[in-house]
Structure 1
Amino acid sequence: MEGQSLDTIMSVQISADKMSAFLTFKRLTDDFECSVEQLEQFVQSSGVSVGVVPGVLQSICNNPLAFYKEQTLIAEGKPAEVGKDGFVQFIYDMKSKERRPAENEDGTVDFKEMTQLKNVTRGQLIAELVEPVAGEPGMTVTGNEVASKEGKAARFKIGKNVVLNNEQTAMYAALDGLITMTDKDKINVFPIYEVNGDVDYKIGNIDFVGTVVIRGNVLSGFRVKSAGDIRIIGGVEGADLDAEGSIEISGGIMAGNKGFVKAGKNVKCSFIQDGNVIAGDDVLVSQSIMHSNVRAGKNVICSGAKGLIVGGTIQAGERVKARTIGNTMSTATVVEVGVKPEHRSELLELRTKLKQHNESMDKADKALVILDQLAAIGQLTDDKMAMRIKLSATKRQSLTEVEQFRERILDIERTLEDSEQAGVDVNNIIYGGIKIVIGRYTKYIKDPLQRVSFQYLDGDISQVSYRS
């Protein structure tokens, strides 16, 4: 439109926050014409220098009538991007509360693996601070920068048994235990894991680096493993219990010949029935041990009001003490003392291996005799020669292993001779049908005896007055 300024035809309005610009026609004549360059200059002269909407000015120039009666957005600023807050990055997902069965490699699921404890060991990294991310500044349509809002820095909420590094950016466990979030999201490491109820399909198997306390029963088929102690306010069925420390069961063990109870130190309970119990030190039972296999590195003591041992095999490195051993039915019961149970088991295994090696060497000797005869008459083929070489090498290896087996057997047998402190003490009565083994010596009890002890004296098992 020649000779007429655009500001008499249209106007540009900029929003209060300067993030938008609009064009409005004041009037419009039939002969109105305007180039894009002219319109751009007009918009810029109105203060808009950034964020012009692509194509909108061209559309206005091409068909101004379409924009005559409305306010048209012609420019938009760039909003500032808010920065991202920093956060605490844990080694475990602390928000996950859902229990789900573990998935095996073949795609099946194990419904006994329901509890995934957040175990940590002393000095292990628990969490790190992730720094906040700075925001991006924005720009108004007038070309002014819009300041961004910075993200907030995260902070550790320190609970018990945790420490920070010098930079205060990483958190570590001060002891072995369980990462736990308490009130106000404080981060703690507790050395005890408690179960308020039975260990069943709801809880699943437990594997913890500290002490486990179970206020209920442990049902058949489940496993509880602890790097500390296991304390059970209840009973144990045919489950697997494995503790590096001690195991204490307020009730008893009724295993049905399933599972095992194994402790690096002591096992203490009220009774054991049809169970398998192993202790590095002592097994302490207040009522009875019935038809069970019990092994203790030091002592098996069943000295309560009942104090009964009957059936099964009882093995102790030092002494077995009970009020009563056996019953009037002469139920077969084996009591072995004077050597650590694992050494006695090792001795049996070594003797079996020695026998197998001797049999193998005997067969090899017979084969070598035949091959030597063939070699002497020049009828040894290549494959027979290879067999001869292989058999000779196998024989040399077997001779070395046999010598090692014999030396170890002698070492264990020497410990069997050193059984002076070992013994069996019966406070009330021992019935017939009992087999007593002290070291390498064996004694069978045929008739009931009262208040008696058995110990190794002068190359045999002697019966002496009860040793309290």
Structure 2
Amino acid sequence: MSFDNSGKKPIDESRIELGIAMAESTLDKILKEVEGLVESTSADVGGEVEDGCFVRRVSSDRLTVFLDIHPPSEGGNPVESIDIMRSLRDEGIENILEENIISAVNTCNREQISVHRVVAAQGIPPKPSHEGSIRFLFPTDKKRAFVKDVSGNVDYKDRGAILSVVPGEELAYLDPPAEGEPGRDVYGRAIPVSKPRKINLIPGKGVESFDGRVFKATIQGQPVLKGHELSIREVYVVPGDVDMSTGNVDFSGTVIVKGTVREGFSVRCDGDIEIKGAVESGTVTAAGDGQISAVIGNKSYVDVGGDLSVRFIQGGEVIVGRDLSVGAYVLHSSVISGGQVFVEGKKGVIGGHLIALKKIDLSSAGAVMGTGTVLEVGTSYHLKRELSLLEEKISHTQEAVDRIYSLLQSTLPIYKGSKKIPEEVAARLRLIQRRKEELTSFLRIWKDRQMAIRNQIADSEDIVPVVAVRNKVYPGVEIKIRGSLKLIDKEIRYVSFFRDPDKGCIVAGAYL
């Protein structure tokens, strides 16, 4: 402690000590008041006689009633189980567990302790619904990637074979949904249970199911799942080339050609197509997916409704409903894709015109000599083409239906009243009526597809199309995106092209 020259403490330190003394005095005063209040409260409480009591709680799901039972203070009346049960019944609570209550009350009164979380009433919980499920024993995703070896090299010839099953082979198991049972809460009110989602699998052509749960193949072919229908597409195998020895191939199922489609010959099928050789200035049309070793020749024409994978394309016209995967290169060809085009090989695309709705992704575009190459995205050519063909088909069919209707309207009145229709005429009329019903059914299907295509074309406006080049774009290449054109005048690397809607032009960015 320090002092000034007169031997007295500094004024600041004196003030601090005085403040501390005042604070201690105030704390002592407050402490005495609190102690007095506690003693007074304890005396009041200790002097009051309390009877035994209970507290009821209902769980949030209303399935359980819990009790906390407390003993009386000295001189108080014990809690009675009959009073508890009467109180619960007065509140409308049902399914009271009397033995639990009696046992807990006896424990509380005998040992003079509180008993907590006594289950006093129990509702009936609902039995939840069982969601159905379907387990397929074959891959339902038909997309197949190029196979790579341990070194990462691509074997462009190996895409696996088209899946085929034999009669008696199990295809799917269906575990049907089961509706649950409602429960009841402690007040006797029903607790509803949600219904399971409906699940359905329909056996189509070549498939049978006796119990609705196990589905088996009845014929050899390719299993196909379309919506809720499981069917078998028959597979037609051409052991060699499609040429003079076979003639043109036209089949309702899937076709496998182990050789080449030679110049001037054609293959058409309603299923998938696999050509282990090439299409050499031939014609191939398939409604499903396609797998072709190569397309060669300016007269080649390939039209596949689904996805197509091909080792290389060298000349000709290729139209794909969805995605096109090319293993090596595309050379001087016309290609239209309703999805995206992916060219994996280093040569990329040299010459020709590629059109894709969503994206073109390739290693390089064009050539050093300035070969004319057009890459176009954001255009629904395939949909507009399909819509045009479909509308033409609808128009012709509607005309036929109208003619049949007019014929029936003019013929039937002749035989009104007592005049009997000759059996020959009646047979012809029945045949005409059946044809009318068939055509009307086709019209409904085609008009549904017509509406779907129009919706797809409208939805495609929301797609952001892109041309992405992993290596080089050479001078002379044209980039087209929804009406905008960009002519490449110098070599560019690792680039993506987009259309800037605000500027109304094509801009370049990093490869994506």
Quickly name the TM-score band, shorter chain normalised. 0.3 to 0.5
- If each structure's helix is expressed as a fraction of its own residues, which one has the higher value? 2
Higher RCO, Cα 8 Å, sep 6+: 1
**TM superposition score normalised by structure 2:** 0.41
TM-score (norm 1): 0.44
